[in-house]
Amino acid sequence: MVEITKNDYALFIGIAVILSAAVKEAMARYSIRLGKKIESSALIADAWHHRSDALASVAVGIGIIGAFFDIYILDPIFGIVVSLLIIYTGVTLFRYSSDTLVGRSPDKGTMDTIESAAGSIEGVCGVHKVTVHDYGPTKIVSLHVEVECDITAEEAHKIAQGVEDKVTDLTNSSTIVHVDPNRESRINTEEVEKTVKDILDQNHAVLFYHKVKITSAGDEIWIDMHIVVDSEMSVAMSHNLSHYIKTLLDKRFPNCKATTHIEPCNGECETCPGICKKK
């Protein structure tokens, strides 16, 4: 029986293992390039398997060569490194595959293609919430398009159908389009400000008002205001006043949400910056 010691083949084996890592890395790069070309996430994931093998082979080769030169500590150290590498690769592949299945934002090139295709359809005002679900040979694109608020359901359907056809042809996928009303504000804030001013100026119970803030989104308006009243006014009367102002604003702007902050007059007219009706 021939006895083989570590000095006989350890150096050769270590070098051979490291050289095999180069082959594995070449396989990984080829798989990534091919996976991107045919848009196969499974092939790209397999490429990481080759790359992790390549890195592990380098670690094992260094450990074997270290043992040849009596540096035995390298073997357990690189054993830990390989273990951590396997865990990292597994977690990375799991996250990538999960994101792909659940639906993730596509890369910039795909995003630009989808947004450009959808935006080219007449009647589309905006595109948002673009996601891509990848199920191997089947891909599903989901996106929201904004259209004018006053068009009919039939017109909106035709726009959505046009977007679906265009995106499907360019991305070779099944496309789902959700139609939303245009988010651009259609509220004339100057008109709202004038209305609020007229309502408050004409109400004799309002001595002074300040910090009036008006914001809008789509057809909705938020009005926030501070109202100064007589300090002797009861809580019930101040509540009725606040409700009355909100009612007037609601009649003028149906989608209005008004918030009033009632403040009692402190009687310090000399230092008060407002133009009070008592002055």
pLDDT digits (tens, 9 = 90+) for 22-36: 888 888 888 888 877
Assess if residue 276 is contained within a domain. Answer: no
The structure's pTM equals: 0.41
pLDDT of 271: 57
Positions of the chain with pLDDT lower than 70, given as ranges: 1-8, 39-42, 96-107, 134-137, 183-187, 216-219, 269-279
- Asked if 205 and 232 sit in the same domain, the reply is yes
Assess if residue 25 is contained within a domain. Answer: yes
Assess if residue 245 is contained within a domain. Answer: yes
Amino acid at residue number 8: D
CA distance 125 to 166: 16
- Asked if 195 and 154 sit in the same domain, the reply is no
- Asked if 157 and 201 sit in the same domain, the reply is no
Residue 114: closest CA among 63, 184, 52, 176? 176
84, 101, 118: which is the final residue of a domain?
Answer: 101
Assess if residue 279 is contained within a domain. Answer: no
181, 204, 220: which is the final residue of a domain?
Answer: 181
Assess if residue 48 is contained within a domain. Answer: yes
Assess if residue 132 is contained within a domain. Answer: yes
pLDDT of 10: 74
- Asked if 164 and 118 sit in the same domain, the reply is yes
- Asked if 17 and 77 sit in the same domain, the reply is yes
pLDDT of 20: 87
- Asked if 116 and 42 sit in the same domain, the reply is no
pLDDT of 172: 84
The label of the residue with tokens 């004038």 reads: 194
Structural domain count, the chain:
3
- Asked if 82 and 168 sit in the same domain, the reply is no
pLDDT of 52: 80
Residues in Cβ contact with 8 at an 8 Å cutoff, skipping those fewer than 6 apart:
none
61, 79, 101: which is the final residue of a domain?
Answer: 101
Assess if residue 227 is contained within a domain. Answer: yes
Range of the domain at 202: 189-264
Residue 32: closest CA among 22, 21, 20, 41? 41
Assess if residue 273 is contained within a domain. Answer: no
pLDDT of 1: 41
pLDDT of 161: 94
